[in-house]
Structure 1
Amino acid sequence: MSQGTKEPRSWMIDTRPLSVRTFRRTWVGNGAAYFGFQFTAVAVPVQMFAVTGSTTWVGLLGVAGLVPLLIFGLWGGAAADVVDRRKLLLTGSVVTWVTTLALLVQAMLGVRSGHLLLLLTAVQSAGFAVSSPARQAIVPRIVPESLVPAANTLNYTASTAGGVLGPLAAGVIIGIWSTGTGVIVAYALDALLFTVTFWATWRLPGIPPSTPSGATERPSAGLRGIVIGLRFLVTQPVLLLSFAVDLVAMVFAMPRALFPAVAQEQFGGGSAVGWLYSAIAIGAMAGGLTSGWIGRVKRQGLALIAAVVAWGVAIALSGLAHSLWLMVLMLAVAGAADLVSAVYRQTIMQTFAPDHLRGRLQGVFTVVVAGGPRLGDLRAGATADLTSVTTSWVGGGLVAAGLAVVLGLTSPALIRYRPEQGPSDDR
């Protein structure tokens, strides 16, 4: 693989990791799964709003997914350091697929229960939390370390491509049919596309846990194993700060719980909801396709802070827009910034942590990355009900940008971080 690792100077996306067959297969499977999941990601809040008429209930979907995410994300991360990561991926994928089928059945039966939607969202979150740490932790095991930023960029770009096409297609489906029929079709397409992920995961080679040299204890997937990972994390300010800025960005500046209400009340419903849910992903995909420069940046911590500030400002500006297309444009700018932020956060975590702890830290990372937007859903929905949609949307973006600047200035370890500063990996 050495001939494929020469660093390109182009601004276009770095595709060298696709020359690795195992990575290429997982990349295709993950992209198909994320595309399919976007149908469910749109259908569930749309169905919830149709059933309850409340943005707070839509925001509660985030809370429903948060608790199992906290529990199973940490456990899944610890398990990824103890068991074969391929087997763990298969287990989590089965849970996710069965939950999608349950969502399809309840929609076909015409069940109008917000509580059932919350329950199924929680179970689906548990499946995601079990598999996600292993899915990300395998990347440095199947590509050379020098290609980890490029591999992460490809993964995020594929997922955002699905994030563009999936919500747009879901919006068209919901716009053509009634809400009830539209969500049925959306759930069915998600269940069908998820089979591609099963194929890609099944074809993975075994990825057993690694053991650091000199280790005398058997690693644990229980509380002791989780504590070991957390103990390492709290001694590493670079990792702590990278997690903190992401929480700030997602909790305060994620407006997606407001999309169903804005689409209905400001733009007359129909396909507008699909455009809103796709907008951030459109920008992220554009950012990914022009991301050849990302791997050449050495001050990754500073770039991460700058990207989060840009995200918050763009979100605030989008909330002031009265035109659908201007709102989509500003959300797309935010999405491009989020792509840059996501790649650097993931790369810092993967290259900073030794492999025998990578699963546990990836579990914490999963809790932060997936839990932050869920808390953001609750914050956005509840704030909008108490004040207004505009106040919740714009104010959250400005707060996120300001807090990111404060964190960067008061805790300079992240701003000063360069990749070669990571601790050594005893493998």
Structure 2
Amino acid sequence: MSSTENPDPTESIELPRRRRFVDLSPLREHPVFARLFIGTAISGVGYWVTTVAVGLFVFDITGDTFAVALVGGIALVPMIVAGLWGGMLADAFDRRFVLICSSIIAWAAILGIVALAAIDEFVEGRPEVWPLYVLTTLNAVAATISNATRSSVTPRIVPEHMVSRANALGGIAFGLQMTIGPALAGVLVAAIGFPLTFAVDAVLFTAGFLGVVGLPKLPPLTHTAKPGWRSLTDGVRFLRNAPNIRMSFIVDIVAMSLGRPYVLLPAIGASVLGGGAVTVGVLTAATAIGTFLTGLFSGPVAHVHRYGVAIGRAIMLFGAFTALFGVVIAVAATGWFGPVGQEWHQVNLPLLLLAALALVGTGASDEVSAIFRSTMLLTAAPDEMRGRLQGIFVVVVTGGPRVGDMFAGGLAVLTTLWLPPLAGGLAIVAIIAVLVRVQSTFRHYDARDPRP
């Protein structure tokens, strides 16, 4: 079947053969999806370059870990609003048009960050931090709307039985983005400075924009209320009667709010493990390697049907790896392995490798959860609700980490760098075990009979 806007649900479905490696059939058989996938993968590298470089830039200006945490904290409420509003836009209007508009706004914000870094480079004195907060918030708002809309597009350009495989491919793209982007950010900041590092994102963004422009028109399939109170209440009413989708949001909030050590990485690279910006890049990329490996070996996902069980076990494993990372940092903080410094050759290499392995585990287990959560949402919800539910989903997956950044940064300021990942990881294991136990419909969810 050729790629069309609305794949025929009566098309004969060939059962996927059992395989170990990722299934590439969504890319081979659906060129519209392939163009969007490739463009998003390339532009995502630039997004992660900027994400890591902004944290380093703020830390370079202020020397304050909590100031780094505020990059996400300040953007949290606007992102929540953008996610809800963007989901309503995606349900009420042509999704291609919404993607084009939000992409242009994000592009403008990136160019503003480039200009601010250039001013810092060539003008005497350090800049104020607040313009950077404003620009990163604008970029986050536009990206939230884009992500909500882009995710709701997938079932319109690939058939339903391929959605889980398409989501697994997304894990490979995300893994590559997070592997290459953060590592590239650390190297570029050290080699060419902040202005040109941010400019890389502006250039790579072009690929994502071309992927969006190449989409067909994607108008609503049924009449949907225009963005506003009625549209929002319709979505909330649906979610109130969708216990499985609702639980998929709750378990992810728990994981992301308590298992986010990334805001601590600049301080860890400066004073605990050593290595400075290079260590930050390596540790951030380690999570992405785990994500990539899960996507690469995602062949079995087409044969997994008990999504609730798979999600619960994956998130508990995520919590265990997060706690392990905290243990490694606690050992490094004792100073038993000698002094460290901010130069790349002054790193505590054995403990850096152990910390990286723990983060590989968090990335792999989180991606298992993400594949099944996103597939549950896209296949159990009707098309006219997918935008709004994706908006809530994007708020969860982007807002939860911001809460996590605030939790980790604030607790680290009050205590020590290793306590947030250790305590948060153990709490994740305990809370998820209880939630999955008490929500029986989620525990017994079967993808062969998807029910919201």
TM-score range, shorter chain: over 0.9
- State the Cα deviation string for residues 200-251 of structure 1 (Å, max 9, x = none): 111111011111xxxxx65221121011011100111101110000000000
Name the structure 2 match of 1:97. 107
Name the structure 2 match of 1:395. 423
Name the structure 2 match of 1:237. 243
Q: Flag the 1:218–1:402 CA change in 2: closer, same or farther, 3 A.
A: closer
State the alpha-carbon separation in 2 of the partners of residues 388 and 3 from structure 1: 58
The answer to whether structure 1 residue 106 and structure 2 residue 116 are counterparts is yes
How far is the alpha carbon of 1:150 from its aligned partner?
0.4
State the alpha-carbon separation in 2 of the partners of residues 292 and 134 from structure 1: 26
The answer to whether structure 1 residue 348 and structure 2 residue 376 are counterparts is yes
* Aligned residue-pair number: 415
Give the aligned residue type for 1:328. Answer: A
Name the structure 2 match of 1:78. 88
Unpaired runs of at least 5, structure 1: 212-216
Name the structure 2 match of 1:130. 145
The answer to whether structure 1 residue 339 and structure 2 residue 367 are counterparts is yes
Percent of aligned positions with the same letter in both sequences? 37
Where 2:147 maps in the other structure, the secondary structure is: helix
Q: Flag the 1:399–1:423 CA change in 2: closer, same or farther, 3 A.
A: closer
C-alpha RMSD over aligned residues: 1.4
Name the structure 2 match of 1:202. 213
State the alpha-carbon separation in 2 of the partners of residues 316 and 170 from structure 1: 26
The answer to whether structure 1 residue 9 and structure 2 residue 36 are counterparts is no
Contact 1:4 1:16 in 2 (8 A): no
State the alpha-carbon separation in 1 of the partners of residues 188 and 12 from structure 2: 46
- State the Cα deviation string for residues 178-217 of structure 1 (Å, max 9, x = none): xxx2x21221000000011111111111011111xxxxx6
Among 30, 52, 56, the alignment partner of 2:62 is 52
Unpaired runs of at least 5, structure 2: 2-10, 121-125, 333-350
The answer to whether structure 1 residue 364 and structure 2 residue 392 are counterparts is yes
Give the aligned residue type for 2:198. Answer: Y
Name the structure 2 match of 1:145. 160
Name the structure 2 match of 1:222. 228
Name the structure 2 match of 1:262. 268
Contact 1:255 1:377 in 2 (8 A): yes
How far is the alpha carbon of 1:175 from its aligned partner?
3.0
Name the structure 2 match of 1:37. 47
Name the structure 1 match of 2:301. 294
Q: Flag the 1:127–1:383 CA change in 2: closer, same or farther, 3 A.
A: same
Q: Flag the 1:78–1:341 CA change in 2: closer, same or farther, 3 A.
A: same
How far is the alpha carbon of 1:284 from its aligned partner?
0.5
Contact 2:224 2:384 in 1 (8 A): no
Contact 1:12 1:291 in 2 (8 A): yes
Where 1:293 maps in the other structure, the secondary structure is: helix
The answer to whether structure 1 residue 376 and structure 2 residue 387 are counterparts is no
Q: Flag the 1:167–1:209 CA change in 2: closer, same or farther, 3 A.
A: same
Name the structure 1 match of 2:197. 186
How far is the alpha carbon of 1:8 from its aligned partner?
2.4
Contact 2:78 2:141 in 1 (8 A): yes
TM-score, reference length from structure 2: 0.89
State the alpha-carbon separation in 2 of the partners of residues 299 and 231 from structure 1: 26
Contact 2:42 2:177 in 1 (8 A): yes
Among 168, 174, 185, the alignment partner of 1:170 is 185
State the alpha-carbon separation in 2 of the partners of residues 138 and 104 from structure 1: 31
TM-score, reference length from structure 1: 0.95
Contact 2:266 2:277 in 1 (8 A): no
State the alpha-carbon separation in 1 of the partners of residues 105 and 353 from structure 2: 38
State the alpha-carbon separation in 2 of the partners of residues 382 and 88 from structure 1: 36
State the alpha-carbon separation in 2 of the partners of residues 147 and 353 from structure 1: 16
Contact 1:354 1:423 in 2 (8 A): no
- State the Cα deviation string for residues 239-292 of structure 1 (Å, max 9, x = none): 111000000000001111101110111213141110011111111101110111
Contact 2:244 2:451 in 1 (8 A): no
